[in-house]
């Protein structure tokens, strides 16, 4: 069996130890004689799994007790609607910082239920940077401020968090949750689809302050009301059981690696190796501006489509796959989430240097 280094933006690589553990427990989960896939979500074995998953996540992220953790379905995209439906509690108004197509989509969905104020946007230069804010640009009467901490497509990341005062900060962390240390108490709500840094697609994690639960708009469907899920500890209906189990294995792995701080250190080293190649190259051009560079998605272009195609093809032959850039940026993108081993990034860096020397 030959595993490749898969630089996919999502779904993406999982730690090999997680996959092996899942394989080992596939047919008989801890003496139950069944797979977690075949198990009632009301069983004592699964209750333990979901409880442990939450405890581990609270532990590795340092989630305060006044925050609720929800294991939901529907992807980050469902949160684009669920957040305004639940958080438009006073003025039905939200401030958005637009840093890519995901924040644009989130803003468009919120606009269906109230007012959306665009505080800043980096669309003028194809989202190649995170806009700097001056003074206090936020609306005093906003119900929340929305940001996308890491912009998967454009390879940018907020270098710091905006100061929003008493207004809850809401963050789409789909592509960088658990990749670096965040102070959860700075946020009102954090959400993330699992398929980039946590587990298989199908699980969405929402971490929210308890004060934000219980005042949804009247029209909110039962399944889109945070209170529905909070009251039942994510067991109102069948949760994505197997994904929760896999997430639990990933959280365990993160803890074994030394926690999020240790993972962040490694992520900085990994990203540094690739940015080093780009900064010393005449062939590759990084698309994100320096202070806004992502630790998770490294985006760059080559001078021609032909060279890009050749580079992708030769990389593939070396087991370095899924490096094609998103169509809205072009070029190449190396997604180097937590599970991408240092070795994979080293191999890519060496390959890129060699490809440059052979093609210039
Ligand atoms: C992938 C991604 C999404 C979309 O997630 P789905 O789970 O497919 O809805 C949203 N936001 C960001 C930042 C992403 O990276």
Whether 173 and 196 have beta carbons less than 8 Å apart is answered as: no
Instruction: Find the 292 Cα to ligand 1 centroid distance in Å.
Output: 19
Sorted by where each begins, the domain ranges of the chain are: 5-13+259-358, 16-256
| 102 assigned to active site | yes
**From the CB of 337, is ligand 1 less than 6 Å away?**
no
pLDDT of residue 124: 97
**From the CB of 102, is ligand 1 less than 6 Å away?**
yes
For 282-328, how does the pLDDT look when each residue is reduced to its tens digit (9 = 90+)?
Answer: 999 999 999 999 999 999 999 999 999 999 999 999 999 999 999 99
Omega before residue 11 within 30° of 0, cis: yes
What is the sign of the dihedral through the CA atoms of 114, 148, 55 and 23?
Answer: positive
pLDDT of residue 136: 87
Whether 187 and 164 have beta carbons less than 8 Å apart is answered as: no
Enumerate the H helices of 257-359 as residue ranges: 259-279, 305-317, 342-358
Q: What share of the chain is helix, strand, coil (3-state, %, to 5)?
A: 40, 15, 45
Fold classification of 5-13+259-358 (topology level): 3.90.1150
In Å, what is the CA distance from 38 to each residue of 42, 111, 242, 250?
A: 12, 40, 9, 20
Whether 93 and 227 have beta carbons less than 8 Å apart is answered as: no
Under-50 pLDDT residues of the chain = none
Strand order of the β-sheet with 285-286 is 285-286, 297-301, 332-335
Fold classification of 16-256 (topology level): 3.40.640
Instruction: Find the 154 Cα to ligand 1 centroid distance in Å.
Output: 13
| DSSP character at residue 302 | -
**From the CB of 180, is ligand 1 less than 6 Å away?**
no
pTM score, two decimals? 0.98
**Angstrom distance (rounded) from CA 192 to CA 172:** 6
pLDDT of residue 134: 87
| 255 assigned to active site | no
**From the CB of 240, is ligand 1 less than 6 Å away?**
no
pLDDT of residue 157: 98
**From the CB of 149, is ligand 1 less than 6 Å away?**
no
Q: Which residues contact 59 (CB under 8 A, 6 or more apart)?
A: 255
**Which of these is catalytic: 68, 95, 143, 196?**
196
Residue count of the chain, please give it. 360
Q: Which residues contact 54 (CB under 8 A, 6 or more apart)?
A: 69, 71
Q: Which of 108, 175, 326 to mutate to test the pocket of ligand 1 (most atoms within 8 A of CB)?
A: 175
pLDDT of residue 1: 64
| 59 assigned to active site | no
**Which of these is catalytic: 21, 143, 172, 248?**
172
Ligand 1: residue whose CA is nearest its atom 12: 174
Instruction: Find the 75 Cα to ligand 1 centroid distance in Å.
Output: 7
| DSSP character at residue 76 | H
For 217-265, how does the pLDDT look when each residue is reduced to its tens digit (9 = 90+)?
Answer: 999 999 999 999 999 999 999 999 999 999 999 999 999 999 999 999 9
Instruction: Find the 60 Cα to ligand 1 centroid distance in Å.
Output: 22
Which run of H or E residues covers position 172?
strand 169-172
Whether 156 and 150 have beta carbons less than 8 Å apart is answered as: yes
Q: 355 is written with which tokens?
A: 């490809």
pLDDT of residue 78: 98
Closest ligand 1 atom to the C-alpha of 77? Answer: 9
Angle between helices 241-256 and 44-61 (to 10 degrees): 40
Instruction: Find the 50 Cα to ligand 1 centroid distance in Å.
Output: 23
């Amino acid at each position: 069996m030959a595993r490749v280094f898969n630089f996919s933006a999502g779904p993406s690589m999982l730690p090999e130890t997680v996959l092996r553990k899942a394989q080992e427990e596939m047919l008989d989960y801890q003496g139950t004689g069944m797979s977690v896939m075949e198990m009632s979500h009301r069983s004592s074995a699964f209750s333990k799994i979901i409880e442990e998953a939450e405890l581990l996540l609270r532990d590795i992220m340092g989630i305060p007790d006044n925050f609720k953790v929800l294991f939901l379905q529907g992807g980050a995209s469902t949160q684009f609607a669920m957040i305004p439906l639940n958080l438009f509690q006073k003025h039905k108004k939200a401030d958005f910082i637009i840093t890519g197509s995901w924040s644009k989509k989130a803003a468009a969905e919120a606009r269906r239920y109230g007012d959306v104020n665009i505080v800043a946007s980096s669309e003028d230069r194809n989202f190649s940077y995170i806009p700097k804010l001056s003074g206090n640009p936020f609306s005093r009467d906003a119900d929340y401020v929305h940001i996308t901490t890491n912009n998967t497509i454009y390879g940018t990341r907020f270098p710091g968090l905006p100061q929003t005062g008493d207004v809850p900060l809401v963050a789409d962390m789909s592509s960088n949750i658990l990749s670096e240390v965040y102070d959860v108490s700075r946020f009102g709500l954090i959400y993330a689809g699992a398929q980039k840094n946590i587990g298989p697609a199908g699980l969405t994690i929402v971490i929210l302050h308890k004060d934000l639960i219980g005042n949804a708009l009247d029209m909110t469907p039962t399944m889109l009301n945070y209170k529905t899920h909070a009251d039942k500890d994510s067991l109102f209906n069948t949760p994505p059981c197997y994904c929760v189990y896999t997430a639990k294995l990933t959280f365990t792995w993160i803890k074994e690696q030394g926690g999020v701080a240790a993972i962040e250190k490694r992520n900085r080293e990994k990203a540094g190796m690739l940015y080093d190649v780009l900064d010393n190259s005449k062939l590759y051009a990084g698309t994100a501006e320096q202070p806004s560079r992502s630790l998770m998605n490294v985006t760059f272009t080559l001078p021609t489509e032909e060279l890009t195609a050749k580079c992708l093809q030769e990389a593939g032959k070396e087991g370095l796959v899924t490096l094609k850039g998103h169509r809205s940026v072009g070029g190449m993108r190396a997604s180097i989430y937590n599970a991408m081993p240092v070795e994979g990034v080293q191999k890519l860096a060496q390959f890129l240097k060699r490809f440059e020397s052979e093609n210039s």
